[in-house]
A and B are shown apart, each in its own frame.
Chain A
Amino acid sequence: MADIVLQNVKKNFGDFIAVENSNLKVEDGDFFVMLGPSGCGKTTTLRMIAGLEMPTSGNILLDKENVTSLRASQRDIAFVFQMFALYPHLNVEKNISFPLRMQKMKSSEIKKRVAEVSQLLKIKHLLKHNISNLAGGDRQRVALGRAIVRRPAAFLMDEPLGTLDAEFREEMCLELKKLHNRIHATTVYVTHDQIEAMTMGDKIAVMNQGIILQNGTPNEIYSKPKTKFVGSFIGSPSMNFIPVDVAIKKGASSVVIDSNVFNIPVQHAETIADKNYIGVRPEKMTLTQKKGIAGEVYASEYLGNRNILTINTEVGQFKVRVSKDSNVCLHENVKITFDPHSAIIFDGASDKALPSAYMTI
């Protein structure tokens, strides 16, 4: 097993910049998720680590060794694709053992490893089966088996669950995580699904338009997003952004919205723009009888252990998470306030979060 380091890695396709100057470290044994919408450069980054694309500039280190100019086959890495890419004419056992037979490994050793891997993935009973007779989930298990059997230094996975139906995806998601907890292999996993990223990742890097916007634990990324994009991309429902039509000064500890004063964490910098946003997570917003932003309940979604209210106000639509026992009615007039300790100011011009007593940058 190994760590992976990207130093100033950049990739252009002609005039198009797919990946901007990126620096990243994946620690040994980490499950590292690259998250972003389609076209953000996450797959390109993964393909550069694999050696399927050459970076335009920069270095890639695998286990402290510079592998930038090595071919894919010379890097000790296994790639699992979104499309299973199995050999349709070989049975499960032959598919799994394929990379070992290519390495001319002794047949007794091959047998041992295939048995071990099929046990781990619970596909032992399928070894003699034809690939074409397998269900989607089982095919993806075989593809995983073929990757694991080599015992590579790192695994790279490109939306490996993307083609499975939603129900199965959740199950495989849990299975992959358990597998990772058992073998502790360094894994870089690409997805556009933030729930997948939050549940599986030890660390997450959020990308958009070729730039790594933020990189940290799921908790850091969720509670302290450094840009508006990260705040809205992560979390279901998304972060709320309350517009404020004034510049915010350094040292400020309150703002006025809709002629109400709201406390915010002490700001350590000032905004450039005159129109800014306060970012608040739905569970940090509450309904109040006292002063607050006035609005009307537009929708109420029951989720068993909680309710999500959608509230229309003069300054925008907000999501508020309330307890399952809340008995707010549709179209009811309510007032909203928010937790003063975890509110984040985003500059309207740069969309970046401002440092404050809460937000450390």
Chain B
Amino acid sequence: MANVKFENISKYFGKTKALSNVDFEIFNSEFFILLGPTGAGKTTTLRLIAGLENPDSGKIMIDGIDVTKTQPAFRDTAFVFQQYSLYPNYSVFDNMAFPLRSPLRKETPEKIEKRVVEIATLLKIQTKLNNSATELSGGEMQRVAIGRALVRNPNIFLMDEPLSSLDAKLRESLRLELKRIQEELGATILYVTHDQIEAMTMGDRIGVLREGELVQIGTPAEIYSSPADTYVARRLGTPQINLLPKAILESTRIPAATKTLGIRPEDVTLGSSGLDCTVTGIENLGADSILLLSMKEHEVFAYADPEKNYSCGDQLKIGINPEKTLFFDTQDKLIST
């Protein structure tokens, strides 16, 4: 395993800017997540590290060595794609053993078998090793694809939304397994996703990408509680943070430069005093109930007790605690308090 550094990388495709001055470091044995919507530059970043693309400017360092011009084969990275591209005519064992059988590696069959069984056990597919790759469920196929990367012990694992084609329950359990295996192996992983739940639950640190620019890097808790700007604030948390004009709240705690207030839905209190609202929508998620409220011309999300029956049109009052409020300036940047 290794640490990987991105120094001032820019990448254009023709006139389209894919990445501009991206600068970050992935530490050894870190689970680093790049979070962003489609087209933010996540996959381009992965491809640059793997050597499948060349940057227009900047340097890529692996363990202190400049690999910017190094061929993909010599960078020793392992890629896991969204679509598990397995060899359909091979067994699970042969699929997983494939990278170890590369003529460059010269591994003994005993060593290969030991490693494949070890990784298969971690991924809980050890009983499927003799199955043909096509006799597996989607979740198992993706485990094999991840396993094929894990057997190699490369410098870094590059994972491009590996869970997003799986159904919800499977995604939930694989999320947990992947994090556990990463900790057990001490693996360095760069994982890109647009799914904020994956980012928050698995990442040691998250880098938030927006239109080719890295807007914030931090632990999930740092990014959630002090987002650098309103974009990042909206990107993490479901339902989204409420962004409201300064004028709705009167408090001496509000900094003068404030333009927008950010209040997480869990910090909005429903009660008998506060600002007047009308219920315009109710989403019942089982464990929680989320109310969509209209307050004058503004929309506000709030959590409600799912056992209380609200209905559309109900009038109620909401309280906003200035101590739990984030303040953003006219440039939409967070004002630190």
Verify if A132 is at the interface (C-beta below 8 Å from B). Answer: no
| Among candidates B172, B194, B264, B289, residue contacting A167 with C-beta atoms closer than 8 Å | B194
Q: Could you say which residues of chain B place their CB within 8 Å of the CB of A340?
A: none
Contacting pair B194 A218 (CB below 8 A):
no
Closest residue of chain B to A235 (Cβ to Cβ) is B286
Closest residue of chain A to B175 (Cβ to Cβ) is A301
Q: Distance (Å) between the CB of A218 and the closest chain B CB?
A: 4
Verify if A14 is at the interface (C-beta below 8 Å from B). Answer: no
State the CA gap A304–B227 with chains docked (Å). Answer: 12
State the CA gap A166–B38 with chains docked (Å). Answer: 10
Contacting pair A167 B284 (CB below 8 A):
no
Verify if B224 is at the interface (C-beta below 8 Å from A). Answer: yes
Verify if B131 is at the interface (C-beta below 8 Å from A). Answer: no
Contacting pair B179 A281 (CB below 8 A):
no
Verify if A15 is at the interface (C-beta below 8 Å from B). Answer: no
Closest residue of chain A to B220 (Cβ to Cβ) is A302
Given A167-B37, A219-B306, A299-B179, do A305 and B237 touch, yes or no (CB 8 Å)? Answer: yes
Verify if B201 is at the interface (C-beta below 8 Å from A). Answer: yes
| Segment at the interface with A among B3-11, B163-171, B328-336 | B163-171
Q: Distance (Å) between the CB of A201 and the closest chain B CB?
A: 9
Contacting pair B285 A199 (CB below 8 A):
yes
Q: Could you say which residues of chain B place their CB within 8 Å of the CB of A310?
A: 176
State the CA gap A303–B198 with chains docked (Å). Answer: 9
Contacting pair A217 B284 (CB below 8 A):
yes
State the CA gap A247–B85 with chains docked (Å). Answer: 49
Closest residue of chain A to B288 (Cβ to Cβ) is A283
Chain B, residues 132-164, CB within 8 Å of chain A (1/0): the string is 000000000000000000000000000000001
State the CA gap A168–B38 with chains docked (Å). Answer: 10
A-B contact count (CB 8 A): 78
Contacting pair A165 B38 (CB below 8 A):
yes
Contacting pair B201 A198 (CB below 8 A):
no
Q: Distance (Å) between the CB of A278 and the closest chain B CB?
A: 18
- Count A interface residues, CB 8 Å: 34
Contacting pair B286 A302 (CB below 8 A):
no
Contacting pair A281 B200 (CB below 8 A):
no
State the CA gap A177–B265 with chains docked (Å). Answer: 20
Contacting pair B287 A282 (CB below 8 A):
yes
Which A residues between 321 and 349 are near B, CB-CB below 8 angstroms? 321
Q: Distance (Å) between the CB of A159 and the closest chain B CB?
A: 12
State the CA gap A181–B224 with chains docked (Å). Answer: 32
Closest residue of chain A to B312 (Cβ to Cβ) is A181
Chain A, residues 301-313, CB within 8 Å of chain B (1/0): the string is 1111100101000
Verify if B221 is at the interface (C-beta below 8 Å from A). Answer: yes
Main secondary structure of the interface of A (DSSP, over half): mixed
Chain B, residues 279-309, CB within 8 Å of chain A (1/0): the string is 0010111110100000000000000001000
State the CA gap A310–B195 with chains docked (Å). Answer: 21
| Among candidates B167, B221, B224, residue contacting A192 with C-beta atoms closer than 8 Å | B167
Verify if A195 is at the interface (C-beta below 8 Å from B). Answer: yes
Q: Distance (Å) between the CB of B285 and the closest chain A CB?
A: 5
Q: Distance (Å) between the CB of B245 and the closest chain A CB?
A: 23
Verify if A50 is at the interface (C-beta below 8 Å from B). Answer: no
Contacting pair A219 B200 (CB below 8 A):
no
Contacting pair B286 A166 (CB below 8 A):
no
Q: Distance (Å) between the CB of B284 and the closest chain A CB?
A: 4
Chain A, residues 234-245, CB within 8 Å of chain B (1/0): the string is 111110000000
State the CA gap A219–B310 with chains docked (Å). Answer: 12
Closest residue of chain A to B287 (Cβ to Cβ) is A283
Given A167-B37, A238-B169, do A304 and B200 touch, yes or no (CB 8 Å)? Answer: yes
Verify if B180 is at the interface (C-beta below 8 Å from A). Answer: yes
Q: Distance (Å) between the CB of B131 and the closest chain A CB?
A: 21
Contacting pair A301 B286 (CB below 8 A):
no
Which A residues between 206 and 258 are near B, CB-CB below 8 angstroms? 217-219, 222-223, 234-238
Q: Distance (Å) between the CB of B168 and the closest chain A CB?
A: 6
Closest residue of chain B to A219 (Cβ to Cβ) is B284
Given A302-B200, A303-B200, A310-B176, do A166 and B168 touch, yes or no (CB 8 Å)? Answer: no
Closest residue of chain B to A221 (Cβ to Cβ) is B286
State the CA gap A164–B265 with chains docked (Å). Answer: 27
Verify if A193 is at the interface (C-beta below 8 Å from B). Answer: yes
Verify if B53 is at the interface (C-beta below 8 Å from A). Answer: no
Verify if B52 is at the interface (C-beta below 8 Å from A). Answer: no
Contacting pair B195 A166 (CB below 8 A):
yes
Q: Could you say which residues of chain B place their CB within 8 Å of the CB of A299?
A: 176, 179-180
State the CA gap A60–B290 with chains docked (Å). Answer: 35
Closest residue of chain B to A303 (Cβ to Cβ) is B200
Q: Could you say which residues of chain B place their CB within 8 Å of the CB of A305?
A: 237, 264-266
Which B residues between 201 and 251 are near A, CB-CB below 8 angstroms? 201, 220-221, 224, 236-237
Verify if B257 is at the interface (C-beta below 8 Å from A). Answer: no
| Among candidates B167, B236, B281, B306, residue contacting A223 with C-beta atoms closer than 8 Å | B306
B176, B197, B283: which has the most chain A beta carbons within 10 Å? B176
Q: Which 3 A-B pairs have the closest CB atoms?
A: A222-B286, A301-B201, A305-B266
Question: Residues of A with Cβ closer than 8 Å to B?
Answer: 165-167, 177, 181, 192-195, 198-199, 217-219, 222-223, 234-238, 281-283, 298-299, 301-305, 308, 310, 321
- 9 example contacts (A-B, Cβ-Cβ < 8 A) are as follows A165-B38, A165-B194, A198-B284, A234-B286, A281-B286, A302-B200, A304-B220, A304-B237, A305-B266
Further 9 A-B residue pairs, CB within 8 A, beyond A167-B38, A310-B176: A166-B194, A217-B284, A219-B306, A236-B169, A282-B287, A302-B221, A303-B197, A304-B220, A304-B237
